[in-house]
């Protein structure tokens, strides 16, 4: 009886010791998650009707990153048809709309997650300006987008030419009305990118 008790007590002590050792050592082990490598991430997005903002918010829930919204000096019309018409005109005439000053500086970050609605097959005007006017050389850029059925269309090709010298990672494109419920998709994407 005594033997049995002492044996099980020893094994209990052993188990407790192993658990305590694991708890003590775990934080010291090298982690693949980039946050522990001292890298800084920034989420920058433009959203006209809220879908891309919702997606950016989900990304922020999973990732320790700063976040900022790009705003044009002149807001786009609130009516859908007027907005579509202006966006088409700007795209055809290669207009880069002026932006309000950003509160954060891209040069302070290693990884920049850039989000936009798909407008006429490419990045919305304000994000085209943001991508053109900032230097992403040597940085990792992860695109994310919402769309109305077209998917990426020319967005992936266009971001490569707007951000010369950047490492463009795998992007995430979500159907606009699914954006607010794509948390699991966002998490899988961030894991594949080894950001979490
Ligand atoms: C001006 C404009 C142009 C659009 N062009 C496209 C397009 O070419 N392809 C597409 O799939 N969706 C297109 N859409 C739909 C948007 O990409 C989609 O609704 C998106 O989720 C909106 O994001 P937001 O709510 O963040 O503005 C367009 C919407 C607008 C307002």
Using CA atoms, how far residue 154 sits from 31, 158, 161, in Å, is 35, 6, 11
pLDDT, tens digit, for every residue of 177-196? 999 999 999 999 999 999 99
How far is Cα 124 from Cα 97, in angstroms, rounded to an integer?
10
Give me ligand 1 centre to Cα 150, in Å: 9
- From the centroid of its chain, how far is CA 154? 19
**What does the pLDDT average to over 45-51?**
98
Q: Work out which ligand 1 atom sits closest to the CA atom of 48.
A: 27
What pLDDT is stored for residue 71 in this prediction? Answer: 98
- From the list 144, 127, 169, 120, the residue with the least C-alpha distance to 55 is 144
Farthest CA pair distance, the chain:
90
Element (H, E) at 182: none
Hey, what are 143's tokens? 């695109």
Q: What's the CA-to-centroid distance between 126 and ligand 1, angstroms?
A: 13
Ligand 1, atom nearest to 55 Cα: 26
Q: Whose CA is nearest to atom 1 of ligand 1?
A: 84
Top mutation candidate among 117, 143, 174 for ligand 1, by most atoms within 8 Å of CB: 117
What are the start-end ranges of the E strands in 94-181?
Answer: 111-119, 122-123, 140-147, 167-168, 172-175
**Lowest-confidence range among 27-36, 110-119, 133-142?**
27-36
pLDDT of 7 over the 80 cut = no
Token representation of residue 88: 């088409």
Distance CA(44)–CA(37), nearest Å, equals 21
Q: Give the strand pairing for 172-175 and 111-119.
A: unpaired
Instruction: Give me 97's structure tokens.
Output: 């709309």
Q: Is the pLDDT of residue 110 over 50?
A: yes
Ligand 1 mutation target, pool 53, 148, 177, 181, most atoms within 8 A of CB: 148
| pTM to 2 decimal places | 0.85
Query: 151-178, pLDDT tens digit by residue?
Result: 999 999 999 999 999 999 999 999 999 9
Q: What angle do CA 174, 179, 184 make, to 5 degrees?
A: 85
**Which one is predicted more confidently, 33 or 103?**
103
């Amino acid at each position: 009886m005594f033997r049995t008790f002492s044996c099980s007590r020893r094994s209990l002590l052993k188990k407790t010791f192993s658990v305590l050792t694991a708890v003590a050592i775990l934080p010291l082990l090298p982690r693949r998650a980039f946050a522990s490598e001292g890298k800084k991430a920034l989420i920058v997005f433009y959203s006209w009707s809220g879908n891309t903002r919702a997606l950016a918010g989900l990304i922020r829930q999973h990732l320790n990153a700063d976040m900022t919204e790009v705003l044009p000096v002149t807001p786009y019309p609130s009516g859908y048809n007027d907005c579509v018409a202006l966006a088409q005109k700007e795209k055809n005439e290669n207009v880069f709309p002026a932006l309000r000053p950003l509160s954060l500086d891209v040069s302070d970050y290693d990884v920049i997650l850039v989000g936009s609605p798909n407008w006429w097959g490419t990045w919305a005007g304000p994000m085209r300006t943001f991508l053109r006017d900032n230097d992403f050389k040597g940085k990792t850029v992860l695109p994310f987008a919402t769309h109305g059925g077209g998917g990426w269309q020319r967005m992936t090709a266009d971001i490569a030419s707007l951000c010369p010298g950047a490492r463009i990672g795998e992007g995430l494109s979500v159907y606009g009305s699914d954006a607010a419920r794509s948390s699991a998709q966002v998490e899988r994407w961030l894991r594949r990118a080894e950001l979490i």
